[in-house]
Amino acid sequence: MKISLIFISTLLVLSVFLPFFLFIYNGTKNTVSIKKQANALVKNNGLLYSLKEVWRKNFIGISTKNNTLTYIKFNSDKSHVINDVNLNEVKQCNILKNYNNGSNKSLFLKSLDLEFVYKSSAKPNLILNFFNIDDDLSEDFELQRIEKWHTLIKSAISEPLIVKMAS
């Protein structure tokens, strides 16, 4: 009787806590896999990043030595999109927030993008997607993340120096 009670209690505890442990393990395994893939791709371009961050299936890094920003988005079909932005060519950086109205008249975030406007009008604006409700069902501090990177990029964008000519 005592052994059966211990056995049933153990099964009950495992059935409650095991899914949580598996969920945490699977999430960390995916994050480690994305970090390894990002590090392998970043090694090929030869840049040293002073700041870098990996979240969900995205990588962003800024190289202050080369004044370059690298953004990699990993897709579910094992492909990836790499965007290298030379910050010397960027005039300004903007945050694009897109909200939708919910069924109970509440606003919710639909997408969150970072837009780069180049100094040359021949180059089209580049938009980097940080969050999209179609890809991810919940926001995971993307608003704070994009504001952090926005301030870092704005400080890295080189302002033209105005030199006065001596007469």
| Cβ(101)–Cβ(87) below 8 Å | no
Q: Confidence band (pLDDT; 50, 70, 90) for 37?
A: confident
Query: From CA 134, how far away is CA 123, in angstroms rounded?
Result: 28
Query: From residue 38, how far is each of 33, 54, 61, 114 by CA, in Å?
Result: 9, 8, 10, 20
Residues 145, 54: Cα–Cα separation, whole Å: 11
pLDDT band at 137 (very low <50, low <70, confident <90, very high): low
pLDDT tens figures, 42-89 = 777 777 888 888 888 888 888 877 788 888 888 777 777 888 888 888
Q: Is 46 left (phi over 0), alpha (psi -120 to 50) or beta?
A: left
